[in-house]
Structure 1
Amino acid sequence: MIRPSRPTRTAARSLWDSTGLREITRGLGTLDAEIFETIAQSQSPALDAVMPGLTRAADHSKLWLAIAGGMALSARPTAQRAAFRGVATVAVTSVVTNQVAKRVRNRPRPATASVPLQRRGHRTPTSNSLPSGHSASAAAFAMGVGIEHAPTGLVLGGLAGLVGLSRIATGAHYPGDVLAGFGIGATVAVVGGRLIPPITQHSIAIPPPSRVSAPSCPRGAGVVVIANPASGSGDTGRMLDEIRSLLPEAEIVELDRDEDIPTVMREAATRAQVLAVVGGDGTVACAAPVALDAGLPLAVFPGGTYNHFARDLGIRSAADTARAIVDGALIRVDITRLNDATVVLNTASIGAYPHFVRTRTKLQHKLSRPFATAVALTSTMRRTRPVRIRVDGEVLETSLFLIGNSLYRPSGFAPSRRLRLDDGLLDVRILEVGHRFATLRLIGSLLSGRLERSPLYRELQVPEFSFSAVDRPVVVAHDGEVGESYDEATFRVAYRALPVYAPGSGS
């Protein structure tokens, strides 16, 4: 008797794979349809009242654009960054969903016969049902915002969930379509957060800002303003006219181009209650030690090409500074002293960091920040010779080295701003290049958003930092100016040493 041959183990596995997968897919499709019918057929006045309006509000992302507009108008930097990230994430998600995901598998829309008439949409969508574009955009915006500001993202996450529910309740999508859309939007947001890390606060306890008793200068009496005509784009005259109208009793000293700025400032400090300057970071760096030596508060009117110090104090215009003077809004901020002499207000660097910053800034108008940073890094390393320094007995070879006065955000080698200027810490960031394939490894870490974990990158938060030159004296640039050469350099924080006027800091 001939016995029927038994299928081999490989053939049985193949048969199970095809049959089992088909059965699982059919079962999930049946479950998806049953959940849809349950929601669609539910007689709920709340669903009838809310769902149609909510789903129409989310058409073409109008709901998210309106929320982003409100956040952008709040004048809060965190909210503005969150709004921009949310909108950018929605834009990328829309392309991925409509141009890629909806072309993968054709799935017809659900039948709407079971959906109450008052809950149905005004028109029936004709595009592929899988995935839900509304749900993808909702998740993208909520998570994009949440990357920058978690509490707001959590609230928006609830709203995004309701938008997804509205697509089922109005008969536009199956639940599986909504879940797929949520997954796409969330994935794009997470990838975006890795490529462009958010500005986050360091997990370091910092005391509350100080409050200082300020001189009463309601019309500017006792304020001496030093204006540097060499700063900025040549609109110093317009700013001085504004200062005269805001502080009519202030004394204004306009420097001649051949005058010695520190000498004029020291002479002005002898008759001032408040020393004020119109200029950029270089001018402010000249005025800070004069104000410290004279025991005077400093006021900064942003009139330079770069106004990083003023910006980090929350000063955007002459009116901001004038209002702080009138309100007596005075706080104390840190300064950093190089070898107990030179005052550093923003940053100090060695190697080619200034070239790196200029290149990256120029490229950011054309490329995303991570790619601009990577290209600037490559250009800098190709064109400059590395510097060898000794830190705590260890020799480091670096082309890019930065020390910040107070902690900068975000982490990584593209810091942009400080949230506080009075934390008592130096922000030290070093890229090492004296290793094999260092440039390729650093660029890969930058593009993947994992620079902080690279063994070639060091980031320290310390109150004091020292290094010594190994081969030759090292030039230290600071606050946008090329400085002197040093064999030994020590940076120390003078904690809350400088009283300065800042809007919103009054008692």
Structure 2
Amino acid sequence: MQSTWRGSHRWISRMDRYLVRHVSNLPGGNHDDFFRRLSASANNGKLWIAIAAGMAAFPGKTRRAAVHGLLAQAVASAVTNGIFKTLLPRTRPLPEHLPVFRFVHPQPTSSSMPSGHSASAVAFAVGVGLVRPAIGAAVAPAAAGVAYSRVHTGAHWPSDVLFGSALGAGAALVTRHWWPVRPPIPKTQRTAASAPELPGGKGLSIVVNALGGSFTDETADALREVFPDAHIVTVRPEDGLVEQISATADTPGTKALGVWGGDGTVGAAAAAAIERSLPLLVLPGGTLNHFARDAGIGNLQQAVAAASNGEAALADVGFVTAERGLAGAPEVSELIMLNTSSIGLYPNLVRRREQLQPALGKPLAGVVAMFRTFAAGTPITLNVDGIPHRVWIAYVGRGRYYPRDHAPLLRPVLDDGVLDFRIFSADESFARLRLLWAVLTGTVASSRITHLREATDVTIHADGAPMALAVDGEALAGVRKVHYRVVPRALVYYSPQA
């Protein structure tokens, strides 16, 4: 076995010297300076970081490809420099092997085997290409040029470059399992429903919440302009919102209820609409209005078109029963849930994600927000359907949200009949490190700390201190028990996507 290894080693050395002689015999020229500069640009991964920074300006798969390329490059560099250069000491080419004008100066002092530059270059190119093949193909010539430059400048033997390139490709493939390809998000689907046509807003009563984050004095005027025949009521801070919504819904001649405001306002209006069997027109406005987004109403023009044409669809509704106070005489509150509810650190996660989203885009902002939130947070103890857990977050979505591996962002179907229930558990040993690693590598969905399931009802008890509960952005403190259930297709809402 030992003689076989020595024979293979001598064969590799002969091949290296043969190839280096041919490189040495190439005529000098501007290409010498080019390869010297290209090689230097890749020192410490600077070239790949610069390319990734440019890619990060484009959200979606391009930004995701940049992240994966850098992750693969970091792993390849660590493995090459931290492990193999120690295990495989080798002398680099000597000055007599190449013309002096081509030889790199100063010569690196670490082991020649394997080439760290080549490992990083190939890892980045392959890592990018696994997510965005076209960009990976565009980066490949630069990676190949860096790899060749290490032989051209006398920094490495050809076999060093070949082995380093193999390590880089392997690092890209391994990290692809850490950062798996997300399954495609289903297409938007709507179940059409019958609703009255409201040309000019005739038969439409609209509630406008002045406490909505984007409210101005011109908001009601803008609504009157597009719905000249509608009955529009502006609710001021001193007015009772729920009472005003009920009174507006009871206005004679009302065929449909409209609402302008955030998620909490929309939920209150939905409760009034369901009680009176009225279709609901959700208008884009307020601090956060996720239901309008999911209903396909991104602007007033879309809302006007849906209402005028009577285009409507069906949505499931979540009902949340919360108990507060003493166990013997609890104070019971029942809330409508159109979007999401959470217990634990989720409100902090959402706040951070919304702050980062303009600069990073939704997917990457969700990753960074999760990392920051869990790094600083502490778990709570809950009893979920009779099973105790220490959790970072208990999250309930009305309907399946996507992506499944990070913070939920999109909901393409509003009447799938389920609750999207997720727990990020702290039961396992080294739970915080496990969670941070899962967030960093994109393996949250497959991690042991993550429990994903679908249900039609869920019951959660506070095992110790009372819970802080959030339902569609509205907070409820001192909760000792909460029960979620879903009522299929309980709400008719206007949607141009119907």
- Structure 2: give runs of 5+ residues left out of the alignment: 20-54, 81-91, 94-116, 145-160, 322-332
**CA, structure 1 residues 13+182, in 2 after alignment: closer, same or farther (shift >3 Å)?**
closer
Distance 2:443 2:218 in 1: 46
Distance 1:208 1:468 in 2: 35
Report the CA distance between 1:299 and its aligned residue: 1.0
Match of 1:377 in 2: 374
**CA, structure 1 residues 16+408, in 2 after alignment: closer, same or farther (shift >3 Å)?**
same
- Contact 1:390–1:470 under 8 Å retained in 2: no
- Structure 1: give runs of 5+ residues left out of the alignment: 1-8, 30-67, 73-79, 107-129, 146-152, 168-176
Between the two proteins, what is the percent identity of the paired residues? 28
- The answer as to 2:337 corresponding to 1:344 is yes
Amino acid at match of 2:269: A
Match of 1:301 in 2: 283
Amino acid at match of 1:388: L
Match of 1:13 in 2: 4
Amino acid at match of 1:353: Y
Match of 2:269 in 1: 287
Amino acid at match of 2:264: G
Match of 1:259 in 2: 239
TM-score, normalized by length of structure 1? 0.65
Amino acid at match of 2:377: T
- Please point out which of 373, 377, 381 is paired with 1:387: 381
**CA, structure 1 residues 210+189, in 2 after alignment: closer, same or farther (shift >3 Å)?**
farther
TM-score, normalized by length of structure 2? 0.66
Tell me the SS of whatever aligns to 2:305: helix
**CA, structure 1 residues 92+199, in 2 after alignment: closer, same or farther (shift >3 Å)?**
closer
Match of 1:173 in 2: none
- Please point out which of 471, 483, 490 is paired with 1:490: 483
Distance 1:219 1:90 in 2: 53
- Contact 2:204–2:230 under 8 Å retained in 1: yes
Report the CA distance between 1:321 and its aligned residue: 1.6
- Output aligned runs, 1:233-252, within 5 Å: 233=214, 235-252=215-232
Report the CA distance between 1:22 and its aligned residue: 4.7
Q: Deviations over 1:357-381 (max 9, x none)?
A: 3245446658864343222112122
Report the CA distance between 1:14 and its aligned residue: 4.2
- Using the TM superposition, name which of 88-97 and 490-499 deviates more: 88-97
**CA, structure 1 residues 369+491, in 2 after alignment: closer, same or farther (shift >3 Å)?**
closer
- Contact 1:347–1:405 under 8 Å retained in 2: yes
**CA, structure 1 residues 222+141, in 2 after alignment: closer, same or farther (shift >3 Å)?**
farther
Report the CA distance between 1:89 and its aligned residue: 6.8
Report the CA distance between 1:450 and its aligned residue: 2.1
Match of 2:207 in 1: 226
**CA, structure 1 residues 327+89, in 2 after alignment: closer, same or farther (shift >3 Å)?**
farther
- Contact 2:344–2:394 under 8 Å retained in 1: yes
Match of 1:354 in 2: 347
Match of 1:425 in 2: 418
Q: Deviations over 1:216-236 (max 9, x none)?
A: 112211111111010113x44
Match of 1:269 in 2: 249
Match of 2:101 in 1: none
**CA, structure 1 residues 376+20, in 2 after alignment: closer, same or farther (shift >3 Å)?**
same
Match of 2:462 in 1: 469
**CA, structure 1 residues 430+240, in 2 after alignment: closer, same or farther (shift >3 Å)?**
same
Distance 1:478 1:461 in 2: 18
Report the CA distance between 1:457 and its aligned residue: 1.8
Tell me the SS of whatever aligns to 1:451: coil
- Contact 2:366–2:406 under 8 Å retained in 1: no
Tell me the SS of whatever aligns to 2:278: coil
Distance 1:254 1:468 in 2: 39
Q: Deviations over 1:118-175 (max 9, x none)?
A: xxxxxxxxxxxx98x9999997776424xxxxxxx7xx69x959x98xx9xxxxxxxx
How large is the Cα RMSD of the aligned pairs?
4.9
| Count of aligned pairs between the two proteins | 410
**CA, structure 1 residues 213+484, in 2 after alignment: closer, same or farther (shift >3 Å)?**
same
- Contact 2:123–2:171 under 8 Å retained in 1: no
Tell me the SS of whatever aligns to 1:494: strand
Amino acid at match of 1:374: F
Amino acid at match of 1:293: E
Report the CA distance between 1:415 and its aligned residue: 1.7
Report the CA distance between 1:292 and its aligned residue: 0.4
Distance 1:486 1:93 in 2: 45
**CA, structure 1 residues 246+292, in 2 after alignment: closer, same or farther (shift >3 Å)?**
same
Match of 2:325 in 1: none
**CA, structure 1 residues 82+218, in 2 after alignment: closer, same or farther (shift >3 Å)?**
farther
Match of 1:438 in 2: 431
Distance 2:371 2:178 in 1: 15
- Output aligned runs, 1:109-120, within 5 Å: none
